[in-house]
A and B are shown apart, each in its own frame.
Chain A
Amino acid sequence: MVIENVSFDVLEGEVFAILGRSGCGKSTLFKAMTGLLAIRNGEVVIEDEVVASAGKAFSEEALKRIGILFQSGALFSSMTVAENVAFPLRQRTTLSEPIIEQVVTLKLAEVGLAGKERFLPAELSGGMQKRAALARAMSLDPRILFFDEPSSGLDPITSAELDRTICTINQTLGTTIVIVTHELASIFAVADRVVLLDAGEKTIIAEGSPAELRDLSQDERVRDFFHRVPAGDEGRAAGDRGAL
């Protein structure tokens, strides 16, 4: 998928959301921002350093600055929750095992999973798996945390709990958070600023706080998105279709 003219700044310490309907290029943008997809044109800049551009992939150092919560959680199914969280620490640091164990305990407590250390991912609920994956993403204390559809597959209550966790992490640790989603409820609960991608043009059509876009935008596509009425479908109820 090609997305064009997409340019935005995420400020340090804010919760930033990328919104859009299905097929608008959110996932492509997410992969490009996190180094999972090669960029043909353009660049990703983190703290004034170009970390990815055409022909340049994320370096190991650049990847250390970010943590990712995947849509499915992507926990390693053969490892316990504690091993999953310890995995980046064992692979990427020279910390001793006792220290790693303490970090794991701390991270699991931060996401409300204390006591679940020895569980396998398959033994956890969907919400718990997301939390465990979040603990793993946070294990190296990244400066920026990326969330891909964090509410996906969760019931509204669990989703709201995850939103609260995101807010807590942002406020207590000061981690910058970038969320890719189409869940308006989550956005209004956590996001400071958002950009809206258009499915047709595959580009950004609005930027601002969620409330600004909902209440003040004059763009019909933005209003449609925030009021949940797909553009061009108003005439559907009239029933006049084709020759009938």
Chain B
Amino acid sequence: MKRFKEMFRFRWRTRAPRGEATSAAEQRALVAPTIREGADFSITAEAKTFDEVRISISGKIFMENAQLVLPALLSVMEAHPLENTVIDLAGVEYLDSSGAAVLMEAHRRASRLNNVLRLSNVPSAIRTFLGMVDFEQFKDLGILEPREEPGVMVQIGDGALELSRDARDMVTFIGATVVALLQDFSRPRKIRWDRLWKLLAQSGFDAVPIVTLLSFLMGAILAFQSAIQFRKFGANIFVADLVSVAICLEMGPLLTSLIVAGRSGAAYAAHIGTMQVNEEVDALRALAIDPIRFLVSPRLIACAIALPCLTVFADLVGVLGGCVVATFSLDLTPQAFFNQVHKVLEVSDIAKGLIKSVVFGVEIAVIGCMKGFQVRGGAESVGHATTSAVVTGIFVLTVTDAIFAILYYYLAVL
């Protein structure tokens, strides 16, 4: 029976209140989530009946003291499990979001202790404020807990599904692109030549400086590395063989395509993705204009033309880079170097490289445009599409290059 008469008091005090009693205007502003300094609160708990405990809160509960109010409430509830808990808010002058959060958390904890928590004498302004939250709905949600990561098997399954979707999308897209190209070639006057020239300039001419720099360096590096080995055998002249064949057959097309994938592939994905987000693609459809034919065809043609042109340029500059290194570090004359190149390099080597570069150009345009069309949502999706266009582009280009290497090898054997 002692428990029924038990009464205890928990009191916490910050600095003394600065102002006088709360004015009417301040009363109206009680629900404003403003931190007020110099406020305090008190909590009184009293066992009213054999199954009910009443907690009275007075003062102000806000961000600075909310963390101290909760343990006080919990200590009372834990001392009286399986009972009804009534929180009397009659004396509460101010309650901000943190104060409301304390009551919500107390409600959640009360449920765990099988207590029934009830508020009473809630001031009207606070009642309106608390009425915005459905306590029952939110009591069990761990909304700030990190989202559960899917298991390994789920991730593998998701990855497989995404891969199959990508493959299906790509087949559909390639089919639509082929149809669009056939329509364009059957009626060349309908091709947007002005746009095509601009795209050619963007994909081709604008890439010349970076292609020049990297190709020159690539030729120089190949010459340096091979010179170290050839010098041991007094076979300096064969540097010209290695540089010219490697550049024209392999490095020129691949390096150029990687540069174009990074520049133009990403630009295509970003441009079409942004158009998708801005409903511009829908606007084309609404005007009965096939977006594939309008957006993809010119880019594909531009890339398929620009890449071989850039590759020829890269081949020249790369061989020149090798020649410069050979001249200054291997005591070869430029004339001897180019004579050797002339002897060893066949037109078919250059042609093989150019055939590859046309295929690379088509792949870059298709992947960039397809990733752009796959954009759904907003800016984040555009960023993802752009990254994906580059990564997928590099992967597909490398695989295609490997396939060409095998193909050319067996063709040479035959």
Say whether A associates with B.
yes
Residues on B with beta carbons closer than 8 Å to the beta carbon of A60? 288
Given contacts A70-B279, A72-B278, A76-B280, contact A244 B130 (CB under 8 A): yes
Residues on A with beta carbons closer than 8 Å to the beta carbon of B132? 236
Q: How far is the CB of B267 from chain A (nearest CB, A)?
A: 12
B128 touches A239 (CB 8 A): yes
Interface of chain B residues 271 through 295 with chain A (CB within 8 A): 274-275, 278-280, 282-283, 285-289
Chain B residue nearest in CB terms to A60: B288
Q: How far is the CB of B266 from chain A (nearest CB, A)?
A: 17
The answer, yes or no, to whether A64 is at the interface (CB within 8 Å) is: yes
Q: How far is the CB of B61 from chain A (nearest CB, A)?
A: 15
Residues on B with beta carbons closer than 8 Å to the beta carbon of A36? 282, 285-286
Interface of chain A residues 46 through 86 with chain B (CB within 8 A): 58, 60, 63-64, 66-68, 70-72, 74-77
Q: How far is the CB of B155 from chain A (nearest CB, A)?
A: 29
Residues on A with beta carbons closer than 8 Å to the beta carbon of B118? 243-244
Q: How far is the CB of A207 from chain B (nearest CB, A)?
A: 26
- Please tell me the number of chain B residues within 8 Å of chain A, measured between CB atoms: 29
Binds A, one of B62-70, B133-141, B246-254, B399-407: B133-141
Q: How far is the CB of B194 from chain A (nearest CB, A)?
A: 11
B279 touches A241 (CB 8 A): no
The answer, yes or no, to whether A226 is at the interface (CB within 8 Å) is: no
Q: How far is the CB of A239 from chain B (nearest CB, A)?
A: 4
Checking B135, B280, B288 against A243 with a beta-carbon cut-off of 8 angstroms, the contacting residue is B135
Given contacts A239-B122, A243-B107, A244-B117, contact A77 B287 (CB under 8 A): no
Residues on A with beta carbons closer than 8 Å to the beta carbon of B283? 68, 70, 74, 76, 136
Interface of chain A residues 230 through 244 with chain B (CB within 8 A): 236-239, 241-244
Residues on A with beta carbons closer than 8 Å to the beta carbon of B107? 242-244
Chain A residue nearest in CB terms to B286: A68
Chain B residue nearest in CB terms to A236: B131
Residues on B with beta carbons closer than 8 Å to the beta carbon of A228? none
Residues on A with beta carbons closer than 8 Å to the beta carbon of B134? 241-242
Given contacts A74-B279, A74-B283, A244-B117, contact A238 B288 (CB under 8 A): no
B135 touches A35 (CB 8 A): no
Residues on B with beta carbons closer than 8 Å to the beta carbon of A243? 107, 116-118, 135-136
Interface of chain A residues 85 through 110 with chain B (CB within 8 A): 87-88, 91-92
The answer, yes or no, to whether A151 is at the interface (CB within 8 Å) is: no
Cα–Cα distance between A142 and B287 once the two chains are bound (Å): 11
The answer, yes or no, to whether B196 is at the interface (CB within 8 Å) is: no
The answer, yes or no, to whether B168 is at the interface (CB within 8 Å) is: no
A74 touches B280 (CB 8 A): yes
The answer, yes or no, to whether B127 is at the interface (CB within 8 Å) is: yes
Against B, the Cβ 8 Å flags (1 = close, 0 = not) of A200-244 are: 000000000000000000000000000000000000111101111
Q: How far is the CB of A230 from chain B (nearest CB, A)?
A: 14
- Please tell me the number of chain A residues within 8 Å of chain B, measured between CB atoms: 30
Against B, the Cβ 8 Å flags (1 = close, 0 = not) of A15-29 are: 000000000000000
B286 touches A77 (CB 8 A): no
Q: How far is the CB of B330 from chain A (nearest CB, A)?
A: 51
Residues on A with beta carbons closer than 8 Å to the beta carbon of B137? 242
Residues on A with beta carbons closer than 8 Å to the beta carbon of B133? 241
Given contacts A64-B288, A244-B118, A244-B135, contact A239 B130 (CB under 8 A): yes
A91 touches B117 (CB 8 A): no
Cα–Cα distance between A36 and B280 once the two chains are bound (Å): 12
A71 touches B288 (CB 8 A): no
Cα–Cα distance between A184 and B130 once the two chains are bound (Å): 31
Q: How far is the CB of B381 from chain A (nearest CB, A)?
A: 16
A237 touches B136 (CB 8 A): no
Q: How far is the CB of B57 from chain A (nearest CB, A)?
A: 14
Cα–Cα distance between A29 and B258 once the two chains are bound (Å): 44
The answer, yes or no, to whether A34 is at the interface (CB within 8 Å) is: yes
Chain B residue nearest in CB terms to A87: B287
B131 touches A63 (CB 8 A): no
Interface of chain B residues 140 through 183 with chain A (CB within 8 A): none
Residues on A with beta carbons closer than 8 Å to the beta carbon of B278? 72, 74, 77
Residues on A with beta carbons closer than 8 Å to the beta carbon of B127? 239
Chain A residue nearest in CB terms to B127: A239
Cα–Cα distance between A22 and B182 once the two chains are bound (Å): 43
Residues on A with beta carbons closer than 8 Å to the beta carbon of B116? 243
Checking B117, B131, B279, B285 against A35 with a beta-carbon cut-off of 8 angstroms, the contacting residue is B285
Q: List 29 A-B contacts (CB under 8 A).
A: A34-B286, A36-B282, A58-B288, A60-B288, A63-B287, A64-B288, A68-B282, A70-B279, A74-B278, A74-B280, A76-B275, A77-B274, A91-B287, A91-B289, A92-B287, A136-B283, A238-B131, A239-B122, A239-B127, A239-B128, A239-B130, A241-B134, A242-B135, A243-B107, A243-B117, A243-B118, A243-B136, A244-B107, A244-B118
Give the 6 A-B residue pairs with the shortest CB-CB distance, closest first.
A242-B136, A239-B127, A74-B279, A63-B288, A74-B283, A239-B131
**Residues on A facing B (Cβ under 8 Å):** 34-36, 58, 60, 63-64, 66-68, 70-72, 74-77, 87-88, 91-92, 136, 236-239, 241-244
Known: A36-B282, A243-B107, A244-B119. 17 other contacts (CB 8 A): A34-B286, A35-B285, A63-B287, A63-B288, A64-B288, A68-B283, A72-B278, A74-B282, A76-B283, A92-B287, A236-B131, A237-B131, A241-B130, A241-B131, A243-B117, A244-B118, A244-B135
